[in-house]
Structure 1
Amino acid sequence: MEVERRHYQDTLRTVTQQKVLDKTSEKLSDNLVGIAVDNYEVHKLEREVAHSVLKIKSQLLALIDPNQLDVEEIVEILKKIDGCDTNYWSLILSRSTAGISNSTGLSNFVNVNAAFKRIEQEGFVIIDPASKSQNQENE
């Protein structure tokens, strides 16, 4: 009777510990998902703002028509388009796009080698069916 009771208590303790671990793991996963979504939203907003600013700058450049404008007017338009500022917004656009790519795993969909490397980093071995059939033919 005592042995059965201890066995039941041990089983109950183990089940309770597993449920606590599962619940904690679920909460951590939810937190990580929330962080990933927030990061994506921030990078998306940065990209949209940078895109809008660069679009306005390109529209200003499109206004320059040497046949219709004199040199002073062209210089005034070019003064409004600061090269350092354009570079700054271009860097923001590039970094936000890279952030979106990283947070969504886009590189794994676009680049097969990146997908292979990511899968191998997670401990899996990738077997290429083409190389497997070549090895069988060589044997």
Structure 2
Amino acid sequence: MYANQILLAEDDSTDAEFFQRALQRLDSPPELIWCKNGLDALEGLLNASASSPLPRLAILDIKMPGMSGLEVLEKLKANERTRNLPIIIMSSSDEPQDIAQAYDFGANSYLVKPNRFQDLRELVGSINSFWIKTNRLRPMVG
């Protein structure tokens, strides 16, 4: 079971606020669950009861204190309940090794954070259009 939510793991409060503002400008936006670090995101997803719905999408920043987005990604993809959860890495890094590692760990997409709010709005609109409204998730069984 999935909820009409996006989980955002982002340690930069300004980036998270801009993402939230861009999301709120959409028609019927999904709820945003903001986790200020990777460990909070991981614990929230893995420690939820089996009957609790997962968000339809997780977006992880790479560089966060305590636990990086790549570490969170690796653990989520190794977990039975969360392995099919779509996960986007969204980072300011455009380094080929970061991109390759994200895909090696099972990321569904890798996006570079835009520098302008207008570009972020367009990106968030595209994310919502595809991952929330159009994409069909693998049904949870058992």
TM above 0.5, yes or no, is no
TM-score w.r.t. structure 1 length? 0.20
TM-score w.r.t. structure 2 length? 0.20
Structure with more of its chain in strand, by fraction: 2
